[in-house]
A and B are shown apart, each in its own frame.
Chain A
Amino acid sequence: MTCECAGIERKKADCERVEGANNLINVFGFFDRGDDFADCIEYFTISALFSFVFLLCFFAAVHETSEDDPRISNYIQILIREIEATQTHFDQHPPLQTIFFGGGTPSLVPPRLVAKVLETLRSKFGLCLDAEISMEMDPGTFDAKKLKELMGLGVNRVSLGVQAFQEELLKACGRAHGLEEVHEAIEIVGSCGVENWSMDLISSLPNQTQEMWEESLRLTIEAKPTHVSVYDLQIEKDTKFGSLYTPGEFPLPSDTQSAKFYRMASRKLAEANYNHYEVSSYSKNGFECKHNYTYWINKPFYAFGLGSASYINGTRYSRPKKLKDYTTYVQNLEGGLVDIQEDDVDEGEMAMDIVMLSLRTSKGLELKSFREDFGSAVAVELCKVYEPYMKSGHVAFLDYRRREITEDEFSSLVLDDEKLENEIGFIRLSDPDGFLLSNELISLAFGVMDP
């Protein structure tokens, strides 16, 4: 990955197709998902992280003087060409329901370019009147005027990349913004009357203490966002970040410590009436991120932009991560040389996707539809493999009315496969114990599904 690909210029548009009763509704998300700071650490390398930060600073400077950096407008140009060249594969084009601008710092993009993108999407796919249109915004990259303009274009959800409330942590993790910008940004979001906004935090940063984390959570709750994302810092091997730090070792918090952070977030946010509806996501009632939720129920979506991934007709496709390759890709797409919409959907892969994604949500895996799609045998095996983990409190079995099945009840159900599959409505991981060990638990399920 080169500098160009660093988050700033990365734009993705995701489109999602929701299957209704007998007709297809297309719900599109235009977005550049999630490649904010934490993602950069997660996805790329520290070199990417630093080059990213460099670009960010650069653009931040540009932002103050000129709204027309040619690199941004050129990139948006290519992005629009991609949208236009994309085959929709549907007879009709029902309007989009969600759009997500994410990755890097889309808030740096001048509103008139955002307007162009939205216009292209609207004319190509249509847009619901009440569509959720989210944008990731970093403190220090926007003012009230800009936010108002964006809101005028239809942006109605803001994902604010605060990450931390401590100057030293912001600095240490290479954020361009300082604490002052954080408070300003919160102020702007409030004064502009954004009704639906998310505060993004990172836990387990180098040198982060329990007191700091407690403070971040307290200030978050005081800011009253409708949604909170709490990302536990992920260190990837084979990256510069990975070579600087070893997970669980100083200056990173120990596993025990970061598990504590996770539990604390879960407890404090629950006390403040946030629902922990996914491993890293909390929201007030009715303010779940609709866009992200579509990923987790394994529904198809389009994506546009550098490095973005789409999921259409059971096929996941990731676009090139380098600007040069991406440009070539768009050219080929226009020339009709790209065919990513294949139809060979592997049932086993699909089942694994569904288990993995749904077990990360508080709703859990809906056993009935899973059984109908993939068979009773697998469903029963899944229940059985989790039996010891029900006893240890990591997994919960629920009936169709979402009442938790007791250990005794389960012991009698497990004797009869038919009863087991008929009585159990949902399998879900407990909060926080099950979520904290979700990788372990999901890979156990994989072991059953694909021995």
Chain B
Amino acid sequence: MSYFNRASKAIQVANRIYRFSLNHHYNLGLPYFASNEHGFCSNSRNSNRRDDNNVIDLSQYPTDKIRNFSIIAHVDHGKSTLADRLLELTGTIKRGHGQPQYLDKLQVERERGITVKAQTATMFYNYELEDSNTSYLLNLVDTPGHVDFSYEVSRSLAACQGALLVVDAAQGVQAQTVANFYLAFESNLAIIPVINKIDQPTADPDRVKAQLKSMFDLDTSDVLLTSAKTGQGLEHVLPAVIERIPPPPGKSDSNLRMFLLDSYYDEYKGVICHVAVVDGCLRKGDKITSAATSQSYEVLDVGIMHPELRPTGFLLTGQVGYMVSGMRSTKEARVGDTLFHSRTTVEPLPGFKPAKHMVFSGLYPADGSDFEGLNHAIERLTCNDASVSVARESSTALGLGFRCGFLGLLHMDVFHQRLEQEYGTHIISTVPTVPYIFEYSDGSKVEVQNPAAFTANPKIRVVASWEPTVLATIIIPSEYVGAVINLCSERRGEQIEYSFIDTQRAFMKYRLPLREIVVDFYNELKSITSGYASFDYEDSEYVASDVVKLDILLNGQPVDAMATIVHKLKAQRVGRELVEKLKKYIDRQMFEITIQAAIDSKVIARETISAMRKNVLAKCYGGDVTRKKKLLEKQKEGKKRMKRVGSVDIPQEAFHAILKVS
């Protein structure tokens, strides 16, 4: 979706400037751990005071010397940079040596400035209090920030006792700040508000403080003011973590219970799980069982992320690290699962839910013959992202492909991008759809994830239909309120709440059909608010809705991959937009082509592309033969890349273009 792209572009620019300033102007100016910074290289073991002999003894850290926390923020408010600074401050990475956004390992994360996969990092910190000097073990659990991953976020937060709520000093509270605050609040986390980027000329910390007070009832005297860029105020962050966040509450004398935070697939080691030990202790060689799958494994390796894999042989109560077991695929590693010692019985930790797929789209190889290539890429990628559901499907227009279910839009977009970036595949994606529920006259109900598969059965009537909705949070400068209300009502939204954060910013809550925000809502919102709107949403209930299937026909033949389900009131407009778009992208062919949009068999929009007039080369003598043949072969190759329905050749761009029609 282009709106994410747009956001990511801005972030890239910001990062570039930032890196520059890092090298030239950054001066931490802190007494803390200058002596710790020696010999770090991102691939080798870093050294610091506690592991001069390359051995880390975790037994020095009972739960009262442990703090587990995460950083939550709206996109681009400085979460990753703050994390970098904390890792540098503690000597976990050497300043200026690790790549910026250290914990965002995927290319897509770095490009877009978002976090998709949870990561953990263990830091050691000497806390000086009244002359005594105590070493603390700090675990930073980096969580995805986007609502698509709200389940993953809630699981990550469940492993923490506190969170740094980072807010940009100029932008103030934004939609994702609100969403993340409530997630943290519901997890009973101690919240340390941090107003970041106070070095900006437009910074207005007092206004942001007032917002935090009015929105979240946070005490303004608790707020830390920082600039991760200049280092200002950073010295107060880790002491605050130790003082204000409680130690993990687990019982070290109980049976082992640990949370599975996330997992990834490593070429050499296999599945690596990020885990948090809640109770008891985990040792290498232990036999463990999953509460979700009942499968048992042997622990082959265990350790901490410091910042890369660092074997320790065990993890004690309250500690966070990694574990390698014999899991063959990340599909076995369910986020939020409870793992325990095989012979014991424990109460599983609360909150485990299987992934819920909200957005579906068909993925097909752009080159129809490369199904195997796509298959392979999807298999490999789902090794690393088990939250995607994959089922084979086939389309008359696009051939063999897959119907994939995603947690949300960003998730879908990230999956597409990773397929292209990490596996070099070229795909055609069908218009994303949401799962609708239809009820027939005989009382049966079906969930439809693929519009093409939903065929009207003349014997049984559809008597009712439901569509999923979301609760959207929109925060905007007050002058844009009118435009945003218009947009939301055009998108069939229902206003739930409308208030003001302060004199300049309005806060609105809408119930919107998910279908209406799937394609270009955020783009549109950004454009009508000159980029000032922030937007977030959470899943809400299904509501009854009068939806119909809209078919696209080329010369009378339905194109399955272009069918969509739309609200009856919008069908006419969407149908017209689709046929107009297609007319632009389908080239003249030897026949006249009619493009129609139809509901059931009733045509609601129609365009024609007149037949090609001429395509002929006048001359073909001695020297022309080779040249002409090359030209015709090129033309043949062009045809091969097209998708064919009946006698009509459809260029790939046509499929991409209709994605943009709402």
- Which one of B220-228, B415-423, B634-642 is at the interface? B634-642
Q: How large is the interface on B (under 10, 10 to 19, 20 to 34, 35 or more residues)?
A: 20 to 34
* Cα of A301 to Cα of B621 in the assembled complex, Å: 11
Collect the chain B residues with CB atoms within 8 Å of residue A394's CB.
590
Chain B 589-615 interface residues, beta-carbon cutoff 8 Å to A? 589-591, 612-615
- A176-217 vs B, Cβ < 8 Å mask (1 yes, 0 no): 000000000000000000000000000000000000000000
Contact A436 B620 (CB under 8 A): no
As a 0/1 sequence over residues 625 to 653 of chain B, the CB contacts with chain A under 8 angstroms (1 = contact) are 11011011101100110000001000000
B619 contact from A42, A446, A451, Cβ within 8 A: A42
Q: A360: nearest residue on chain B (CB-CB)?
A: B620
The contact of A256 among B591, B613, B629, B647, by CB within 8 Å, is B613
Binding-face segment, A31-39, A113-121, A415-423: A31-39
| With contact pairs A447-B640, A450-B636 given, residues A308 and B623 touching in the complex (Cβ less than 8 Å) | yes
Q: How far is the CA of A439 from the CA of B634 in the complex (A)?
A: 11
Alpha-carbon distance A295/B628, docked complex (angstroms): 13
Answer whether A309 and B647 are a contact pair too, CB < 8 Å, given A437-B590, A437-B614, A437-B616. no
Taking a contact as CB atoms under 8 Å apart, the answer to whether B625 and A295 are in contact is yes
Given contacts A38-B618, A232-B616, A232-B618, is CB(A311)–CB(B625) below 8 Å?
yes
B569 at the A interface (CB under 8 A): no
State how many angstroms separate the Cβ of B155 from the closest Cβ of chain A. 50
Which A residues are in CB contact (< 8 Å) with B613? Answer: 255-256, 258-259, 436
Do B618 and A231 have beta carbons less than 8 Å apart? Answer: yes
Q: Mark B112-149, 1 if CB is under 8 A from A, else 0.
A: 00000000000000000000000000000000000000
B621 touches A279 (CB 8 A): no
A318-B626 contact in complex given A394-B590, A440-B612, A443-B635, C-beta closer than 8 Å: yes
Asked whether any CB of chain A lies closer than 8 Å to the CB of B55, the reply is: no
Docked Cα-Cα span, A128 to B639, in Å, equals 47
Establish whether residues B618 and A234, one from each chain, have CB atoms under 8 Å apart when the complex forms.
Answer: yes
The interface bits of chain A over 331-362 (1 if a CB of B lies within 8 angstroms of the residue's CB, else 0) are: 00000000000000000010011001100100
Please tell me if B617 contacts chain A, counting CB pairs below 8 Å: yes
Asked if B31 lies at the interface with its beta carbon under 8 angstroms from chain A, I say: no
Q: Are A357 and B632 in contact (CB under 8 A)?
A: no
- Distance A352 CA – B615 CA, assembled complex (angstroms): 18
Given contacts A255-B613, A258-B614, contact A440 B620 (CB under 8 A): no
Given the contacts A259-B614, A435-B616, A450-B636, A307 and B623 also touching, CB distance less than 8 Å: yes
Q: Indicate which residue in A39, A43, A232, A316 contacts B625 across the interface (CB closer than 8 Å).
A: A316
Distance in Å: Cβ of A269 to nearest Cβ of chain B:
15
Are B620 and A439 neighbours in the complex by a CB distance under 8 Å? no
Q: Note all chain B residues with C-beta closer than 8 A to A33.
A: 621-623
Contact bitstring A34-58, B, C-beta under 8 A = 1, else 0: 1000110011000000000000000
Look across to chain A and name the residue whose beta carbon is closest to the beta carbon of B640.
Answer: A447
Max chain A C-beta neighbours (<10 A), residue from B616, B617, B618, B629 = B616
A438:B590 contact, CB within 8 angstroms? no
Q: Which residues of A contact B629 (CB under 8 A)?
A: 349, 352-353, 356
Q: A437-B590, A447-B639 are in contact. Are A234 and B625 (CB under 8 A)?
A: no
Q: Is the CB of A303 within 8 A of B622?
A: yes
A73 contacts chain B at the CB level, 8 A cutoff? no
B625 and A309: CB pair below 8 A?
yes
Residue A392 at the chain B interface, CB threshold 8 Å: yes
Contact partner of B612 (CB less than 8 A), chosen from A231, A437, A446, is A437
Contacts of B589 in A (CB 8 A): 440
CA distance A217 to B346 in the complex (A): 97
A280 at the interface (CB under 8 A from B): yes
A39 vs B624: C-alpha distance in the bound complex, in angstroms? Answer: 10
Contact across chains for B628 and A39 when beta carbons are under 8 A apart: no
Q: Could you tell me the distance between the alpha carbons of A438 and B590 in the complex, rounded to whole angstroms?
A: 10
Taking CB atoms, residues of chain B closer than 8 Å to A388 are: 647
Chain B residues with Cβ below 8 Å from A256 are 613
Verify if A389 is at the interface (C-beta below 8 Å from B): yes
A313: Cβ under 8 A from any B Cβ? no
A442 CA to B630 CA, complexed, in Å: 12
Q: Is A12 an interface residue (CB 8 A)?
A: yes
Find chain B residues with CB under 8 A from A292 CB.
621
Residue of A33, A308, A436, A442 with most partner-chain B CB within 10 A: A442
Contact B626 A357 (CB under 8 A): no
Task: List chain B residues, Cβ under 8 A from A356.
Answer: 620, 625, 628-629, 632
A-B contacts, CB under 8 A, total: 126
For window 130-173 of chain A, which residues contact chain B by CB distance below 8 Å? none
Contact in complex: A436, B615 (CB < 8 Å): yes
Q: How far is the CA of A443 from the CA of B625 in the complex (A)?
A: 14
Bound-complex Cα distance A148 to B495 (A)? 95
Q: Are B590 and A389 in contact (CB under 8 A)?
A: yes
Chain B residues near A230 (CB, 8 Å)?
Answer: 618
What is the chain A residue whose CB lies nearest that of B633?
A: A446
The answer to whether A12 and B616 have CB atoms under 8 Å apart is no
Among B591, B621, B625, B632, contact of A442 (Cβ-Cβ < 8 Å):
B632
**Quick check: A295 and B614 within 8 Å, CB to CB?**
no
Chain B positions within 8 Å of A352 at CB level: 629, 633
CB pair A309–B623 under 8 Å, yes or no, is yes
Q: Which of B590, B613, B621, B633 has the most chain A CB atoms inside 10 A of its CB? A: B621
Map CB proximity to B onto A294-332 as digits: 1 under 8 Å, 0 otherwise. Answer: 011000010100011111000010100000000000000
Contact of A316 among B591, B626, B640 (CB under 8 A): B626
- Whether a CB of chain B sits under 8 angstroms from the CB of A101 is no
Q: Mark B441-479, 1 if CB is under 8 A from A, else 0.
A: 000000000000000000000000000000000000000
Q: Which among A42, A308, A435 is the interface contact of B622 at CB below 8 angstroms?
A: A308
Is A301's CB under 8 angstroms from B590's CB?
A: no
Confirm or deny: A262 has a beta carbon within 8 angstroms of a beta carbon on chain B.
yes
> Nearest-CB distance from A98 to chain B (Å)?
12
Q: Is the CB of B614 within 8 A of A234?
A: no
Q: A352-B629, A440-B590 are known contacts. Are A311 and B615 too (CB-CB below 8 A)?
A: no
Q: In the bound complex, how far is the Cα of B238 from the Cα of A316, in angstroms?
A: 78
- What is the CA–CA distance of A135 and B631 in the complex, to the nearest angstrom? 29
Check A234 against B617 for contact (C-beta < 8 Å).
Answer: yes
| Residue in B591, B614, B620, B626 whose CB lies within 8 Å of A262 | B614
Bound: A42/B624 CA distance, A: 10
A216 to chain B, nearest CB (A): 15
CB distance from B627 to the nearest CB of A (A): 8
| Contacting residue for A443 out of B614, B620, B636, CB 8 A | B636
* Bound complex: CA A140 to CA B624 (Å): 28
| A9 located at the interface, meaning its Cβ lies under 8 Å from any Cβ of chain B in the complex | no
Shortest Cβ distance from B594 into chain A, in angstroms? 15
B312 to chain A, nearest CB (A): 59
Interface mask (A383-422 → B, CB under 8 Å = 1, otherwise 0): 0000011001010000000000000000000000000000
Q: Are A447 and B625 in contact (CB under 8 A)?
A: no
The distance in angstroms between the C-alpha atoms of A34 and B631, with both chains bound, is: 19
Instruction: Assess whether B622 is in contact with A279, with CB atoms less than 8 Å apart.
Output: no
CA distance A12 to B621 in the complex (A): 12
Instruction: Tell me if A12 and B622 are in contact (CB < 8 A).
Output: yes
Contact B622 A255 (CB under 8 A): no
Report if A14 contacts B (CB, 8 A). Answer: yes
Mark interface residues in B582-594 (1 if CB within 8 Å of A CB, else 0): 0000000111000
Q: How distant is the Cα of A394 from the Cα of B591 in the complex, in angstroms?
A: 10
Chain B neighbourhood of A450, CB < 8 A = 633, 636
Known interface pairs A436-B613, A442-B632, A443-B636; A280-B618 also in contact (CB < 8 Å): yes
Per the bound structure, the CA–CA distance linking A233 and B619 in Å amounts to: 10
Q: What are 8 A-B interface contacts by the 8 Å CB criterion?
A: A33-B623, A230-B618, A232-B614, A255-B612, A258-B614, A279-B617, A357-B625, A440-B615
Among all A-B residue pairs, the 4 with the closest Cβ atoms: A309-B623, A259-B613, A443-B635, A231-B618
What residues of chain A have their CB less than 8 Å away from a CB belonging to chain B? 12, 14, 33-34, 38-39, 42-43, 230-234, 255-256, 258-259, 262, 279-280, 292, 295-296, 301, 303, 307-311, 316, 318, 349, 352-353, 356-357, 360, 388-389, 392, 394, 435-444, 446-447, 450-451
Apart from A352-B629, A440-B635, what are 9 other A-B pairs with CB-CB below 8 Å? Answer: A33-B622, A34-B621, A38-B619, A258-B613, A296-B620, A303-B623, A394-B590, A444-B636, A446-B636
